[in-house]
Amino acid sequence: MKEIFEVVRNNLQKASKNQGRYYNLRRREWRPALGSMALLRQHQLSSAAEGFAAKLAPKFDGAYRVVHFISPNVVRLARVGERRRRVANLSQLKPFYTEEEETSGTALRRETEEEEGFDRLKSNMDAPLEG
């Protein structure tokens, strides 16, 4: 009976390790720096009495500035222009980009595509039709 238990336990450990490897393939760790801006996930509930549907509400609220790390996964946030501070877990945050940062990123992407000679319309037109 102990041998069967050992075999099952070893198989479960192998399966868990294998699944973890596939799960973590596309996972990127993000840690905000002190003073950086972040958006905070909202947890809103629908209310028929008030005529409020949570699925239509914005999922994130912000922009908050990271003020202090309470622990490795918990940060203290302050909204720009307010004294009140909030505490949040890193899993509830995502990076906040200003319009300048977003446009510079797309401009950089366009420049690299032009350098590589990438023409989206031409590449789509040269593809053979399937049918």
Q: Using an 8 Å Cβ cutoff, are 94 and 36 in contact?
A: no
Whether pTM > 0.75 for this model: the answer is no
Instruction: Count CB neighbours of 64 within 10 A.
Output: 24
Q: What is the pLDDT of residues 101-113, one digit of tens each?
A: 766 655 555 555 5
Least Cα distance to 30 among 70, 103, 89, 77 occurs for: 89
Residue 25 lies in a domain: no
Number of domains in the chain: 1
Domain membership of residue 62 as a residue range: 31-118
Look at residue 26 and tell me if it is in a domain: no
20 in any annotated domain? no
| Unique residue bearing structure tokens 């995502």 | 94
CB neighbourhood size of 66 (10 A):
20
What CATH number corresponds to the domain at position 38?
2.30.30.140
The phi-psi region of residue 81 (left if phi > 0; otherwise alpha if psi is between -120 and 50; otherwise beta) is: left
> Would 93 be classed as within a structural domain?
yes
131 residues of the chain, pLDDT tens digit each: 888 999 999 999 999 999 999 988 887 888 999 999 999 999 999 999 999 999 999 999 978 999 999 999 999 999 988 888 999 999 999 999 887 776 665 555 555 555 555 454 444 445 555 54
In a domain, 94, yes or no: yes
Does the residue 5 lie in any domain? no
